[in-house]
Structure formats: C-alpha cells, structure tokens
Structure 1
C-alpha cells in the first residue's frame, strides 16, 4: 500500500514538474521568398479589395514585401520540431514555439535562415482573468451641460468640434486599435452604437478579448463612445477593428512580433488608420533593452513595421510613452518610426505633462510630432461609467480619432501629405522642440489647408 502511495506521489510530482516545463518562442528571419506560391499579379489572394483600393488611391505599388512568407520554409521549421505561431511578411520573419532550445540550432542550419533569436520564455506566473467581469457593470453616469460631456476639453482644444459640426465624425473610415484587451466593451451601453468590424487576438487566439486587460477599453473609449452630454469621443462615427498584441503577463520582445502581425492584418483588411498606445524599450530580460542609439526607426521590429505600414498607405498614430519623469525620459518604439504620428501629452490648459516622453530620435527627427490631452483625460471605466486617466496612451487615441475625421474630410491626401498638414496646422510649427514637437494641432485649420491643397 505504501509503495502504491509513493508511486502515485512520484507520478503527481512528475506531472507537476512537466506542467512547469519552459517553452520558448524564436523569431526566425528568412533569406528570401523565392519559393512563394503567391504572385504580385494576383494580389487579391493576400490583400482585400479595400486594401488594394487604398494603395491605388495613394499611388502605391504592390511589391515583394506584400507577399506572404514562403510556406515551404515554414513547413521545414515545423518538421524540425517547431510549432508555427505567426509571421511578418514585411520583415520576412516567422515566430516559432519550441519545447527544447536545441531545436533552435536546427533552425540555424537551414540555408534559407538568416537569423534565429529567442524572443519569449514561458512566464512563471499568469495573471488570472476575472470570470465574473460582467457583474462589475453598472452603466451609471451623470449628464453634463456640454454635448461632449467629460470629453469636451480634449476635443475642443483641437477645434475638433468644428470638424464634427461640419459632418466629419469618422463615417466610412476603418480604424484598428492594437492594444492589450477590451475589458467589458461587449457589455457597456457606451458602445451600443459602436460598429465593430471584427476582433483578433495575436497573443492567445483562444482568449476572450473582452476579458483581457482594460487598457484597450479606455483607449477605445477616447475615440468611439457616442453618449451625448456624458461622453462623445473623437471619432464616434468610425468603424473599428479590435486587435490584441500586448501580453499583460510578461514583457518580452515577442510582443513586437505580435504587433507586427497585427498591423499587417490591419493592412490586409483595408484599415485606414491605426492607433497603438503601446511601446517597448525595456523587457523582463534586461539584455533585450533598447538604448538611445536604437531610436532610429530601424532597430526595433515594431518601428520597422510601423514605417512599412505608412508606406502601404495606412496612418499610424502612436503614444510617445510615459517616461518623461523617469531615468529613460525618451520616446519608446514605435514612436521613433518614420512616417508615423507620435503623440505626447498635455493637460486641458495645454501645459505638457511631466510624464510625457521626449524626443528627438537618434537620427535627429522631431518627436513627438504633436500633443493632445493625456492628463485627466475622460475615459470609460470598467464598470461602464465615467473614469479619468493619465498617459500618452489616451492622448494618442484622442488625436487619432480627430485625424481620422480630418482624413474623412480630405480623402485626397496621402499619408505623407496628411502628416505634413498636421504639422503645419500646429501652434509650434515654426519652432518645434523635443518636448512639444510641433505643438497642439488646430484640426479646423488643418481642414482649411487640406481644402486649399485640393483647390490649388
């Protein structure tokens, strides 16, 4: 009897140890796409009609970066013991899960592999999700005298209300939010008018995206809430994709791979504008941390992907980061990317928030680009009521929604032209600096500049 108990205990211990066995994810960079099954002559096989139309409108050609990664190469990596997770066609990389680090050495032996980098180790702790999240919902709030409710100042500081009054509220525009989760969005009255195009989780495809972190909820609310005299966001008429790339359980470079896959998905379905209130410069393993010299728009996988997205005709709007009062101080990737709008934070009086990260980039480009309200910003709370938040995480979507409405009003502008007009319509355009960038943008002025460009 004792022997049986001892054997049972040993078996349970073995199972417990196995359950904690580490797994790893590797970013495998491939040499080429020479064995691809796709052709540039048949772009409809990997890009939607809306994505193709966006490129055509801006005079952008389909090129080899648009071709998916070669399946033949992926199949070989799977044969060698890897589990395929996702790919980045723009960077020609694949993310592979392995249970034994020796498998990575097999990957390196392939002639079609350029580099193999470990970007994720299974975390010791996974934070539990709230199974009773829906019980938090009260959907209670107080009305104000202003149409925009608690969002009034964060809209009006940019004269965004003038754009809205002119009929530009984001209708017909597709916006992707790439964030950490959209806690309780599915149960809030705030979002009953929201047009959701779809959801996709790049961290855990089997998750309930509405049970994940609440950061994305608050970010989304800055743009999408449409509850007059309670809260009206900066683009209440737009349609939204809700995408998750942030893993709240850990901070590792694989999150850049998730983000790259998410932004490429957004491109493929024809998204016009992307908001990302995410950024990375430090990780659980400090050896992966970025340095100031890396803020060149080319070192970070996330920044490279953001720059490519701009070249594909999508506008990327991202937060500058909240390190202004810390030892790092600087913007965080992808805020250093070329061709994106990086947003810093001010209060409702236009005074910069001390936490707002500063520029410039390592190669001397002006960052942040412009500023928006990120101190005491009106946002939705997890209970479906009103809350307030501090961070460039909220400055970014507030401005993202307004620039979405501006692009709706001036659809003839390319991404490059759009960013230039935003700079020109900002109050520090003549004397930009590394704290305010070009300053606070007057969106109605931007609209008038855009109209002049069309007429001239």
Structure 2
C-alpha cells in the first residue's frame, strides 16, 4: 500500500476513535439508549474537497462535474407543504431565502406565521436551500423562490388533513411553482382507520387519487414526497400520497449510504413499481429531512435543463447508486450528481467541465 492510503486510513481511524469517545460521553451524560444515534451525531461534519463546502448528506451525492456548474436553483419556484415555519426569517441559515408568498391552511391567520412554535418547516427549507456564508451549502437550491403552505396540525391527525393538503397543492399551483415538496404523509387518522397497506397502489386513498390527477394534468410539475417514518412500526410501508407512481418518493439511509434507516418506510411490494424512488442520508433524522435534500437537487437540475417530470425521474433512477438493483428498501439508491449532469445535459451543449453532450437526451429517452 502507498503512503497516501495508509495516511487516509490513519486519519479515518483517528476520526472513528474520536467519534466513539464523543458518543460515549453523550451516552454517559444523557443516558442515551440509541448508541448509533449518538455515534451519527458525533461523526457529523462537512464535505470540503470541492470548490464549495457541502453538508454531509449532499456530499454523499456530490462530484466535481456538478460542483463546477455552481447550480443554485435559480429561476425555479418551489412550493413547500409542511407543519410550521417558525424562526425561518430569523435563522441566519434560512433568512436569505426568497419567500414569495405563504399561507396557513390550519387557521387562516398568517399574523405569526414565522413565530410559529413548530419549526419543522424551517428545517425542511434549510435542507432545500439553506446556506452559511457564500460558499457553504446546506441545500442545493439557495437561489430558488419559495411559497410556503402550513397544512398540518401538530397535535392531532384528523382525516381533514387530506383536504388541507389538496387545498395547499391547488394554492401552490396558482402560485406557479415548478415543484412541490411535502414532508408530511398519511397512514391512518384519529377519526378514520379505513386505509391499509394493501391500498398503496397510487389510486385508492383520497389524497393519492387527487395527486395522481394533478400530475397527469401537469407533466412539468415535480412532486417530492417523504416516504414516512413507519419502517419500524406495524404499518412499516410508505404513507399516502407517496404511493403515487409519478411522485418522487424519498427514503433515508444510514451514513454508510447503503443501509435503510430502520424507521424509513419501505415500498409496497405488490404495487408493480419501485418505491421509494431514491434515498439520501437525513439530518436531523427522519425522511422529512432527506426529502428536501432531493427537492433542492431537483430545483438545481431544473435550472440546468427544464425537462419534463418523466425525464427527470428517469434520470434520478438511472443515476442512483442502486440503479442496477433497485428494491423496496432503498429504491434506486442515492443519486450520483455527476451521472445526473451527464444524463440531463442539454442536447448539443458542453457543460463547464468540457464534456460533450450531443447524445445525452437520446440516452435518457431510452431509459423512460
């Protein structure tokens, strides 16, 4: 072995021991029952080998070719369906986001919209387009425009939540969004338990039928949906409307990039198509926070080339780390950004890395 390899291994070992020591301290101090969570938290970190610094979950997808393009989702309007956007305008990592409009579908009152005690939506927006300074990205779409819709009640789950999601989607369409990201999914409700995993076919639940009809009517619209966190619960499988075939359903994997997080919901094996579509690591933990990472990526790729939804989904699948062996655990895997750039490069153009792209569109058309 050469010296570089030995040095890298030495650094990795030192980092591993440091992480273990930090995790042990957390366990002793807090009585933490989940040692893997503590080790994950201790590892943390950033990807710094490119022209910009990226969050660790983005770093797992990154490559030099994508990095050289300096994409930021410019010219793309993103709709966010979530549970509350408290502190979004005061958090330095999100206060620079361009908020075009916002609406509360739970109360109708937007007076304290950004003082909401629920900050779930702030973290979602951070993972779409947050940044620290000019060259550290927490999300891949810091230059996009945002429309925000609060649709979820934090303390209960009535079936009327489906209706609020429908209303939110219609409102966002009226605002001219290019993509919608949703970190809320449904299985059973406080006042209705009629859904079963066997109905995860993209057309049985009320919200899935609605979303399917919307996507059929809008072939350019992207809908990025969390898989849900039922993977270690009795339901186990994805929530609605993540079963809609043309939605991009996102799960979560451990930091090894291969193992499904135990809570990340799995696809329904009888559906006839693969769900989740793709996965990425999540920080904080939960598919709520892996999903916006992919939403930011999709906005950046639409800036690069405004293709139809079917083309972008086919490219996401083909660029995945598990493209050759997709399954209901991790879908097509983690998108690899250099491969995605190659697949979606505009016909007859060259990207800033100097690569020829005159046959790329035909290549991706053959995958659909």
TM interval, short-chain normalised: 0.7 to 0.9
What do you get for the CA RMSD once the two structures are aligned? 2.1
2:309 is equivalent to residue 401 of structure 1: no
Aligned to 1:183: 86
Aligned to 2:175: 269
Distance 1:248 1:301, change over 3 A: same
Higher strand share: 1
CA distance in structure 2 between the aligned counterparts of 1:161 and 1:200, rounded to whole angstroms: 39
Aligned residues: 298
Please report how far the alpha carbon of residue 144 of structure 1 lies from its aligned counterpart in structure 2 after TM superposition: 7.3
TM-score normalised per structure 1: 0.62
2:237 is equivalent to residue 330 of structure 1: yes
User: Does the CA-based 8 Å contact 1:175-1:238 persist in structure 2?
Assistant: yes
CA distance in structure 1 between the aligned counterparts of 2:119 and 2:276, rounded to whole angstroms: 25
1:359 to 264, 267, 283: 267
CA distance in structure 1 between the aligned counterparts of 2:214 and 2:57, rounded to whole angstroms: 27
Aligned to 2:122: 217
TM-score normalised per structure 2: 0.76
Distance 1:390 1:161, change over 3 A: farther
Larger Rg: 1
User: Does the CA-based 8 Å contact 1:267-1:309 persist in structure 2?
Assistant: no
Residue by residue over 1:20-67, the C-alpha shift from the partner in whole angstroms, topping out at 9 and shown as x without a partner, is xxxxxxxxxxxxxxxxxxxxxxxxxxxxxxxxxxxxxxxxxxxxxxxx
Q: For structure 1, list consecutive stretches of 5 or more residues without a partner in the other structure.
A: 1-142, 378-388
2:296 is equivalent to residue 429 of structure 1: no
User: Does the CA-based 8 Å contact 1:275-1:396 persist in structure 2?
Assistant: yes
Instruction: Map 1:11-30; keep pairs closer than 5 Å.
Output: none
Aligned to 2:223: 316
Aligned to 1:307: 212
Please report how far the alpha carbon of residue 418 of structure 1 lies from its aligned counterpart in structure 2 after TM superposition: 0.9
Q: For structure 2, list consecutive stretches of 5 or more residues without a partner in the other structure.
A: 1-44, 346-358, 364-368
Please report how far the alpha carbon of residue 410 of structure 1 lies from its aligned counterpart in structure 2 after TM superposition: 1.4
Aligned to 2:246: 339
Distance 1:195 1:331, change over 3 A: same
Distance 1:409 1:145, change over 3 A: closer
Residue by residue over 1:323-348, the C-alpha shift from the partner in whole angstroms, topping out at 9 and shown as x without a partner, is 11111110001110120100010123
Residue by residue over 1:225-284, the C-alpha shift from the partner in whole angstroms, topping out at 9 and shown as x without a partner, is 121476532211111111111111320111110111111111122101111000010211
CA distance in structure 1 between the aligned counterparts of 2:194 and 2:125, rounded to whole angstroms: 29
2:256 is equivalent to residue 369 of structure 1: no
User: Does the CA-based 8 Å contact 1:281-1:289 persist in structure 2?
Assistant: no
Distance 1:348 1:175, change over 3 A: same
CA distance in structure 1 between the aligned counterparts of 2:198 and 2:308, rounded to whole angstroms: 30
Distance 1:283 1:160, change over 3 A: farther
Please report how far the alpha carbon of residue 161 of structure 1 lies from its aligned counterpart in structure 2 after TM superposition: 6.9
Residue by residue over 1:175-205, the C-alpha shift from the partner in whole angstroms, topping out at 9 and shown as x without a partner, is 0110001011122222232111110111111
What SS does the aligned partner of 1:191 have? coil
CA distance in structure 1 between the aligned counterparts of 2:169 and 2:318, rounded to whole angstroms: 27
Aligned to 1:13: none
CA distance in structure 2 between the aligned counterparts of 1:448 and 1:264, rounded to whole angstroms: 34
